[in-house]
Structure 1
Amino acid sequence: MSRSVSAPAPGRRMTGRGVSVLLTGIALVIAANVFAAPILLAAAVLLLAMLILSAIVVFAPHRRAVVSRTVASDLLTVSDDTTVRVRVDLRTLLSAPAGRWHDVLPPAVRGSSSGAFPPDSRETVPGGVTMTMTYAISGARRGLASLGPFQLTTTDPFGLFRRTDELGDPTPITIVPAVLPLPRLADRTGRAGGTAQTSSHRLGQGSDNLSPRRYVPGDSMRRIHWRATAHRGDLMVRQEEQESSPDALVVLDRAGVRWGPADPTMPGAVAAGFGEEGFDRAVTACASIALHLVDHGFAVDVVDATGVLIGRLRGAEDERDGLLVALAGTAARTGERDAGLPAASEGHTVGPLVMITGALDAADAAALTHGGAGTPILLATAPGADALAAAGARGWRTATLGDDPAIAWANTGADEEPAHAGT
């Protein structure tokens, strides 16, 4: 596994060897006066002259550089790898200095971003030299971060002085949450929705010009075309149903009160559901579930518990990327208005409803309504005693959310066939 290398502090300083040479020179000057030994004075002058010459070699050159980075992946996913290519156009009257280069990495990524300078890949140009360095990084945790600045550390041939310059500007990088595979959701609207989008692309016409079609299990009773039903003697539904995907709602609870610091007396598994670690679990589950649902034909809205829209998925690739970028930068927030669990699900009755939260007590769980959603699912990273049972009594499918959302998804029974599916 690659690891991050500590960055040297920028600046100009004398090395330990340089300090030793300086002290030795001073001692020789004192000894030359005490013992009246000109040879010692000559040696002292030689050492001090070497110090001055070395300082001029290291500190005198004025360095200007243009640093550009190219990241192989537009979005870096947690635990995935990518390659960074750094190009440095160094302007100097002298030849490229010898030393070490280091590209500063944020805590959100891991990698080894340093090496010998100048690198083998370089080209001399009028007034300077162009060099290219490449290194690999992997996502450590989601977030918005920056690569850089680029640091160049050089020393004189004797190793008496060290100079570290920061060159160029940092490059922004986005580390998005991982999207993990989940079992297929067994939901009647999900099976209907799997064909809805395909049909709409094939028909390619407005709903006003479409005739009713025969009812199939999973169609909403609200879409029944009663006039056509009476005329044909069979249940018929409006054809425009084929032009719309079933709705699904994913609610990510960002209230800071449910993501506070863990109580030291809590069991380890429950305590891990609090704080940043627990919230990161929730974000990973949110991304995985939302993309899982849209892949199975749903039109998905992702909101927080106050109803604020985080992302909207209708099958387009840029919508997926937009949601992942939004989740990369989201964080738990504090505020009195977040003290309770608002009914973000109010009015959502068509398809799956997934609520993802942190600390949940029995009182909040008992008051949490799902608005008659087709498949209400509640995942909590740190549920209190009887909280999941209280939510289950309200009709929710519940599970404790751990490191793998697929396990929690399966534990809710969301991948099981509903008992009423065939009716």
Structure 2
Amino acid sequence: MTEGGSGGTPERDGLRAALGGLTTRGRSFLAAGMAAAVCSFLLGQPDLLRVGLLLAALPLVCVLVLHRTRYRVAGSRTLSPARVPVAAESRVRLRMENVSRLPTGVLMLQDRVPYVLGPRPRFVLDRVEAGGRREVSYRVRSDLRGRYPLGPLQLRLSDPFGMCELTRAFSTCDTLTVVPRVEPLPPVRLAGEAAGHGEGRQRSPALAGEDDVIPRGYRHGDDLRRVHWRSTARHGELMVRREEQPQKTRCTILLDTRAAAHPGAGPDSAFEWAVTAAASSAAHLLERGFSVRLLTDTGTCVPGPDGTGGFGGGTEPADAAGLMLDTLAVVEQSEEEGLSGAYDVLRGGEGLLVAFFGDLDERQAAVAGRMRQRCGAALAFVLDGDAWTRGPGGIGFSAGQVPMAERLRLLREAGWKALPVAPGDTLADLWRAGSGPRPADAESDAVRTPAGGWS
């Protein structure tokens, strides 16, 4: 459970703002009183003047009394949980406490929420005694990923006659993060994945608590059997050897976010499928002990200092997964024309490369082919964006793009294990297919069965 922000005493509106809070009833009384006063002068009726003064004075007195109200109310908001997957619900609890010595009147609470999360929740609280507390709750859900602000919480005060209403707002807001769904994937060994030192595994100096080949100074508690006597004689102090340990297999997940490569929009679009697949792949590989980073076509890399492409070897798997999910929650389609930004980040020795491509022309397919030379093994999921926009069973492709069979052929000739993705395909089935031998004939992937399998 994540604690939301806590607001202090609401900001007090000025008298001018209080006059602006007159309701329709209050404005009607004020207008009627002024009209009666004018008529009393025109008709010479002093009794009518008294009636007019009474009608005009009542809403003004209500405004003054409400403006001078000394309610001191504290409010807080709690989200449970503050990070949810798409289409999941989160409960928001509002807590109001009367910290003054006077009981309150009827209070109406309203919390500001984005339209995508549903209508604004409103609650009416009866008289709250001095020192009393009230708690209310509501649920929010979203079919679209993103970060959504909740608040500020508004408190509406009204007088007993309904002449005036004042809205006072707390200053604190909270954020609900809606991340992509993480689908479970089968624990299969991907094509080209190394099981030990080799092209899929990289050696790097160990971090704190791990061993490496560079001797270091003796520390209290080190095993004397690890003293490196040759280095000790050379440096004149006790030196301890740190033996090499196998490091985690590295994996880069490449997400193609180009708007031109993913036609269509909405929860069922090709781009949203790719985002969900990238999130599921990252979580699955982290659970299997990989050192994973997320890379986009713009060259942005997570984790990594300033997006320069570090794998973040010292990051805990849970922290790395949370960081990637938070990044994918707000990732948007880019205006990039090609994949050169991602290619520049791939400097070689990448281990396993898992890519989710959109529509590719010949030039971008060639760039993807050069990417293959900078990694140990490569698996590509190629999304047919036209299939999403034209619906199942359609044929054809956009101008400037090559047919799906040609895209697969170009990638496979470059050494990729390339799989086509169409509407209705599940990542789990494709992930299992990625563990098999690389198809030799790309044309066999161009024809789809109605059930979503291969023909």
TM-score range, shorter chain: 0.5 to 0.7
1:293 to 285, 290, 293: 285
Measured at CA, do residues 271 and 302 of structure 1 come closer, stay the same or move farther in structure 2, by a change above 3 Å? closer
Task: Output one character per residue of 1:6-36: Cα deviation in whole Å (capped at 9) or x when no partner.
Answer: xxxx964221222222222222223333333
- Pairing 1:222-261 to 2, within 5 Å after superposition: 243-254=246-257, 258-259=258-259
Change (3 A) 1:162 1:274: closer
Please give the TM-score of this superposition, normalised by the length of structure 2.
Answer: 0.64
CA distance in 1: counterparts of 2:97 and 2:52, whole angstroms: 40
Instruction: Map 1:116-195 to 2 at 5 A.
Output: 116-118=124-126, 124-125=130-131, 129-182=132-185, 185=188, 187-188=190-191, 192=195
**CA distance, structure 2, for counterparts of residue 359 and residue 97 of structure 1:** 62
Report % sequence identity. Answer: 25
Q: Answer yes or no: is the 8 Å Cα contact 1:100–1:116 preserved in 2.
A: yes
Q: What's the Cα RMSD here? A: 4.1
**Equivalent residues in 2 for 1:33-44 (5 A)?**
33-44=41-52
Match of 1:390 among 406, 415, 427: 406
Cα distance 1:274–1:132, how it changes in 2: closer, same or farther (>3 A)? Answer: closer
Structure 1 position 347 matched with structure 2 position 348: yes
- The offset of 1:70, in angstroms, is 1.9
Question: Aligned ranges for residues 326-405 of structure 1 at < 5 Å?
Answer: 326-334=327-335, 342=343, 347=348, 350-351=351-352, 353-369=353-369, 370-371=372-373, 373-380=376-383, 382=385, 384=398, 385-386=401-402, 388-393=404-409, 394-395=411-412, 396=416, 397-400=418-421
Task: Point out the structure with the larger strand share.
Answer: 1
Q: CA deviation at 1:76?
A: 2.5
8 Å CA contact 2:99–2:130 kept in 1: the answer is: no
| Unpaired segments ≥5 residues, structure 1 | 1-9, 194-203, 209-239, 263-269
- What SS does structure 2 have at the residue aligned with 1:97? coil
Structure 2: 5+ residue runs without aligned partners? 1-12, 197-208, 214-242, 304-310, 387-397, 440-455
After the TM superposition, which residues 296-307 of structure 1 pair with which residues of structure 2 at under 5 Å, given as runs?
296-305=288-297, 307=299
The Cα shift of 1:347 comes to: 3.1
User: What's 2:74 paired with?
Assistant: 66
How far apart in 2 are the matches of 1:342 and 1:375? Answer: 14
Q: Which amino acid aligns with 1:290?
A: A
Q: Please, which moves more after superposition, 159-168 or 61-70?
A: 61-70
| C-alpha distance 207-24 of structure 1, shift in aligned 2 (>3 A) | closer
Q: Please, what TM-score do these two structures have when normalized by structure 1?
A: 0.68
Residue identity in the other structure for 1:418: P
Structure 1 residue 277: Cα displacement: 6.4
Q: Matches of 1:241 and 1:287 in 2, distance apart?
A: 32
2:6 alignment counterpart? none
Could you tell me how far 1:355 is from its partner in structure 2? Answer: 1.6
Name which of 283, 308, 317 aligns with 2:275. 283
Matched residue SS, 1:68: strand
CA contact (8 A) 1:31 1:40 kept: yes
Cα pair distance change 1:147/1:205, threshold 3 Å = closer
2:60 aligned partner: 52
Give 2:40's aligned residue.
32
- Secondary structure of the residue that 1:70 maps to in structure 2? strand
SS in structure 2 at match of 1:318: helix
Q: 2:321 corresponds to which letter in structure 1?
A: R
User: Secondary structure of 1:131's match?
Assistant: strand
In the alignment, the residues of structure 1 paired with residue 350 and residue 60 of structure 2 have an alpha-carbon distance, to the nearest angstrom, of 80
Q: Shift of residue 303 of structure 1? A: 1.9
